[in-house]
Structure 1
Amino acid sequence: MDKAWKAARQGPVRDNVQLPSTYIMYVLGSGGHTGELCEMIKQQFRPNPGSHRRYIITSGDRHSINAVERLEGLISQAFPSGANGTSQGDSWDIVYVVRARSVHQPLYTAWFSALHSALSIVKALLHPPDVAAQTRLSKHNDGRSGRVKPFTYPDLIVTNGPGTGFIVCAMALMLKILWFMPADRCSVLFIETWAHVSTLSLTGKLFYYSRIADLFVVQHELLAERTGKRFIGDVTRHGNLLGIRKPFRREMPSLRPEEAKVR
């Protein structure tokens, strides 16, 4: 993970570099945020047996569930399981958390739902992948260099703007401060949504001023100039999670246009 994180800070990763097995947590938001992040995952995806993806979805967000199932279906088609039963597309799961605040919910009741949301997020951060996924990871890692034990905590949290993403990252920081989680887990990558060209979103401002993101990137040059943050271009056109710019070796069909971009 250290090598991958160093590469993310320095620039594009050579296509022949084998990335380490990682447990990545993606925080989805309804509508455009989900479509943008799923398209980014599809663009930058590399088969890496032994890795795990966890999608955090707020309760009642059926759109994100459908988008994730469609994405993972594309990945499994492009990278089917091998003869030994090991999936080239890695393992994945979905964990649901309570929405911090519903649309039009009165502010005087929002504190209770926000607290409930925070508790459900803590559970999502501390709950390891299921037994089946852990078994696959153990088989893959057995006798190999690097990680030997199954994953317990996320290596990386990726979010692109939904408010829930900030709460997830804040809870991860709190858990590390309180020693419930190792300090070298739950690094934070914040990608400002494509929809914000010259100003930061509310969630972007929270990450900007709190400085809890280990890596903060933007998709427009104007915003990069105004904030001093790294410009990476349109993540739905280029796989820029680790600075990868080459297209997917094995093409997968695009998601539906309305879900692929925030326009």
Structure 2
Amino acid sequence: MSRTYTAALVIIGDEILSGRTQDKNVAQIAQWLNVQGIRLAEARIVADVEEAIVEAVNALRARNDYLFTTGGIGPTHDDITVDAIAAALGVPVVVHPGAERMLRDYYASIGKEATPARMSMARVPEGADLIDNPVSGAPGIKVENIFIMAGIPHITAGMLEGLTGTLEGGRPLVSVTVGAFSPESEIADLLREVVKAHPDVALGSYPFFKEGRYGSNFVMRAEGEEVAAACAEDLARKLRAAGYEPTVGGL
């Protein structure tokens, strides 16, 4: 089994914690990371408070290969992510000439003024590189093992596209799903047997209630298709022996 590369995600914004805005970035970043052969190991939501951002960034970047942040890099007073990450790294904030040029060109192209507020998005922690943003003028930022990205999901998606294939990772994860009308409580021992027999597979159980019956979808994730498929076959065989009819692909 190849080395496991991990990433963490810090979602920054009072609007997420208040429930006013629903986060969509966890799912899309996790899926993108899987394709890169990197596992999203943990995610944390923090308020627009510098001390909270600094603590989360330093804790998570230290125990993962990569750290992604979303939110707080716009032109308003509460966009403090760049300053907080610079503080976490112990470096000053500087104006990146490349980002400044991108912003001036972008606003000129759409007939808007490059106001001081808009140009503030050219500020980066010292030593940072830029992440291309094909959607709007403000680039993302890479500094050490930290990737500072927009909070708006479709802009985040554009930045991820630009990063595709640039990060070192292991083998991409593949998944196989088996579903059955089998309540979790009735097959807990069976699942433990399957997990023990297939240590290279991560098996997740997701219960549902459908057509008046309880059931579960079982998702097996592994670094190789054959490994995941063998686990799925073993689980299906055991479910069938226990009196449940499994469905590959889920229910």
TM-score, normalization by structure 1: 0.33
Q: Which has the larger radius of gyration?
A: 2
More strand, by proportion:
2
TM-score, normalization by structure 2: 0.34
Question: Which structure exhibits the higher relative contact order, with contacts defined as CA atoms closer than 8 Å and separated by 6 or more residues?
Answer: 1
